[in-house]
Structure 1
């Protein structure tokens, strides 16, 4: 199996540095890492270049101009087009993977299913010392000191997953799917701008094709770094309406990973000769 990891980011090079360090220290390396960069203008390119020189797998920087508002779906589509793996692991530039993260996802991958992973929360106070390569005892000490918030997610049981039919807990910061299934719905909906709901809409269309959901338990964990939070009611309402539309609307969206085919004007040069069909007497 070839797994491609897609990491979204925007002007958080300090976070991305920690995230890419985690992928450098995976027990099973990804086939490639693709940075879905929504128009970063900080030193993100320098961080990417640093790890490109160190990694023994390709790291691709898929940058797009910032459109004035976050365009996460568009960035993910651009990155997905760069992927050569048959299994896609979507995550974010503020989520540090544990050393078994890629290995766990590959063990959990099953045709006809997508995988929803979990996240532990890493508080500001642990930023200076946390690497993502810690063993269970070291993680426990971070929890004791208030650096990590979820004790039960320190347990590691690879290969354990449960079926789920609902939408609760859908998070694109740790979500994996087969590339063929992503292509079947034309990827992420680029009508979404701002934050919220683009992952729920994506999964809704995915499940409408017959792809089922599995939730990882005690493996495939990311450590989500604390950061400032923004909320915009207008964004939320607009994106929530797009999600509602996906429950009955087109599964293969027009504004997705692949643009709609361009129709050629009918001319004498590209018009096929007409074939007459004679009915039997």
Structure 2
């Protein structure tokens, strides 16, 4: 299986450095990593270039101009267009993968399903010492010291998943789906701006095509680094309305990964051939 990992980021090069280090140390390497960069102006390019030289798999920098507000859907679409893998693993630039992260997602992958992975939370206090390559005992010590928040996710049991028809717990920072299924819905809805509901809308349209949801139980785990939280009620209300619309609206959206086809000009010959001939008097 060829899997492409799509990582969204914006001006968090310190976080991205830790994330890419994690993909460098996977037991099963991704076929490709694509950085969905929402117009970073810090030293993100230098971090990416460093890992491009170190990695034995392609790392693509899919940079998109910043539009003044976060454009997560737009940059995910831009990155997806550059993916060559048949299986897509969507994640974020503040999520360090465990060493079996890619292997777990590939093991769980099966036709007709997408996978919702899990996340543990990494506190600021553990940033300097945490690498993502820790063994079970080292992870437990991080939990004991308050660096990690979920002790039950320190255990790994590969291959276990449970089906769900609910929307609760959808997290765009850890979703894997087949490229062919993403193409059917035309990817992510670029009407979304900000940080709310774009993942739920994406999954709603995906499930309306018949793709089923499965939740990883004790595998496909990320370590989500603590950061400041952005709360914008206007963004939430607008995006929530877009999500509601997706429950009955078009599954294949126009404002998505591929633009709508341009109308073809009609020749005079075509118009003439389509005009009914008048009967002779």
- Give the TM bin, normalised by the shorter chain: over 0.9
- Aligned partners of 1:160 and 1:128: how far apart in 2? 32
* Corresponding residue for residue 155 of structure 2: 155
**Structure 1 unaligned blocks of 5 or more:** 275-281
- Aligned partners of 2:37 and 2:269: how far apart in 1? 43
* Corresponding residue for residue 113 of structure 1: 113
* Corresponding residue for residue 35 of structure 1: 35
Q: Which runs of 4+ in 1 moved over 6 A?
A: 269-274
Using the size of structure 2 for normalisation, the TM-score is 0.96
* Corresponding residue for residue 219 of structure 2: 219
Cα distance, 1:270 vs structure 2? 7.6
Cα distance, 1:195 vs structure 2? 1.0
Using the size of structure 1 for normalisation, the TM-score is 0.96
What does 1:1-281 align with in structure 2 at a 5 Å threshold? Answer: 1-268=1-268
Cα distance, 1:128 vs structure 2? 0.3
- Aligned partners of 2:272 and 2:157: how far apart in 1? 60
Cα distance, 1:264 vs structure 2? 1.4
Structure 2 CA distance for partners of 1:141 and 1:241, relative to 1, 3 Å: same
Cα distance, 1:267 vs structure 2? 1.4
- Aligned partners of 2:24 and 2:269: how far apart in 1? 54
Between the two proteins, the alignment pairs up a number of residues equal to 275
* 1:184-226 alpha-carbon deviations (Å, 9 max, x no partner): 0000000001111000000000000000000001000000000
Cα distance, 1:269 vs structure 2? 7.3
Cα distance, 1:271 vs structure 2? 7.7
Structure 2 CA distance for partners of 1:272 and 1:255, relative to 1, 3 Å: farther
Which moves more between the two structures, 118-127 or 263-272?
A: 263-272
- Aligned partners of 1:270 and 1:125: how far apart in 2? 70
- Aligned partners of 1:92 and 1:124: how far apart in 2? 17
* 1:48-85 alpha-carbon deviations (Å, 9 max, x no partner): 00000000000000000000000000000000000000
* 1:122-159 alpha-carbon deviations (Å, 9 max, x no partner): 00000000000000000000000100000000000000
Partner SS, residue 158 of structure 1: strand
- Aligned partners of 2:270 and 2:209: how far apart in 1? 35
Structure 2 CA distance for partners of 1:249 and 1:12, relative to 1, 3 Å: same
Cα distance, 1:174 vs structure 2? 0.3
Partner SS, residue 181 of structure 2: helix
RMSD: 1.4
- Aligned partners of 1:234 and 1:73: how far apart in 2? 18
Cα distance, 1:239 vs structure 2? 0.2
Structure 2 CA distance for partners of 1:263 and 1:10, relative to 1, 3 Å: same
